[in-house]
Amino acid sequence: MKRIVESVGFLVFAQGAAGLLYGWTGWFRLWTVVRRLDFMSEYGVFVNIVLVVTGAAVMIAADSIKT
């Protein structure tokens, strides 16, 4: 279970980081999910920052899961 939570946290973190790179430089166009959602298009940078923080928090919280 701990590995699954860590993997999900990493995926969320990677989506946020790729979205920020796309927003600032135009790279990683295919990896970003936020840019494909129309209702989040105005808040792209903010949503990607939230994804990075959430992914990091989930990965840190995975350490408290007992195996």
Task: For the chain, give every domain's residue range.
Answer: 2-64
pLDDT for position 4 = 93
C-beta separation of 14 from 24 below 8 A? no
Which tokens sit at 26?
């135009």
Which tokens sit at 16?
């946020």
Under the banding of pLDDT at 50, 70 and 90, the label for residue 29 is confident
Under the banding of pLDDT at 50, 70 and 90, the label for residue 5 is very high
